[in-house]
Structure 1
Amino acid sequence: MTIAPGSAPAASAPRHPLDPDPVRATKARAVFALGLMAAMTGLLLGGAVPAMVALQLARQARREAYASGGFLTGATWLRRGERLALTGLALVAVSLVALLVIGVVRLAEAPYGQDFAPNVD
């Protein structure tokens, strides 16, 4: 059946009484919280661990939501949490590159070899 643009969709069939009620996946909230923590601590290099955990939980939550047949919701929270986790990982990468550049510059400025007194041949 095709629905014309702008028209209301047809009424869906009544639910079976034994069907479970749609609920938000608890992992979706955990993914969002871990992603937020990763984004907030990303510059301090502490965001890598919660970001990796959030991405793993997001994979599991998506798999469970697909298997539930639409009775687990929370896809929006999962997407937001994944984006925040990826932002946290990007901030960790930026911090590592900045630390590496600072280390190389300091190493280049350090004197090379032994520094003898001016009267030593």
Structure 2
Amino acid sequence: MTTAAGQVPLAHQPPRHPLDPDPVRATKARAVFALGLIGALTGIFVGGVVPATIALQLARQARREAYASGGFLTGAAWLRRGERLARVGLVLVAVAVVTLVVIGVVRLAGSPYGQDFAPNVD
């Protein structure tokens, strides 16, 4: 069976077994995306490290569950987006921490060392 002249024939799908579950989106995929988004939005304020780390851990669990389900759990695109956002959040946290450390070192280097006495004290 072909759809039109010159096109590749369509593959015939075998009928599904009646006891096979319907494919559904994994609920952890939504959670990974939401936590990744929160981690990316709050990453510049160091608080984004917690939701981003949780998102990456949930993504690992969700991938294992999706693999074990044999294709009946969907949501791989949401997982990828959530993982990317979580990694962006962690990079923003790292940039914020490095920036704060550099600012602290520069301020510490510019401040006087030791006790500052009046000019008339030996």
Regarding TM over 0.5, the answer is yes
Instruction: Give secondary structure in 2 for the equivalent of 1:94.
Output: helix
Letter in 2 for 1:34: L
TM-score, length basis structure 1? 0.93
The question of 1:89 aligning with 2:90 is answered yes
Report the AA paired with residue 57 of structure 1. L
What is the rounded CA distance, in whole Å, between the counterparts of 1:97 and 1:42 in structure 2? 13
- Asked if residue 28 in structure 1 is aligned to residue 54 in structure 2, the reply is no
Matches within 5 A, 1:28-67: 28-67=29-68
Query: Any unmatched runs of 5+ in structure 2?
Result: 1-6
Query: Once the two structures are superposed, what CA deviation does each residue of 1:5-25 show, in whole Å capped at 9, x if it has no partner?
Result: x62440210100110000000
Question: Which residue of structure 2 lines up, in the alignment, with residue 12 of structure 1?
Answer: 13
Question: Where does residue 80 of structure 2 map in the other structure?
Answer: 79
Q: Which residue in 2 is equivalent to 1:3?
A: none
Aligned amino acid, residue 23 of structure 1: V
Distance 2:8 2:111 in 1: 73
SS at match of 2:71: coil
Q: How far apart are the structure 1 equivalents of 2:12 and 2:92?
A: 47
Residue in 2 aligned with 1:114?
115
RMSD of equivalent CA atoms: 0.9
Distance change >3 Å, CA 8–CA 44, structure 1 → 2: farther
TM-score w.r.t. the length of structure 2 is: 0.92
Consecutive unaligned residues of structure 1, counting only runs of 5 or more, are 1-5
How many positions carry a matched residue from both structures? 116
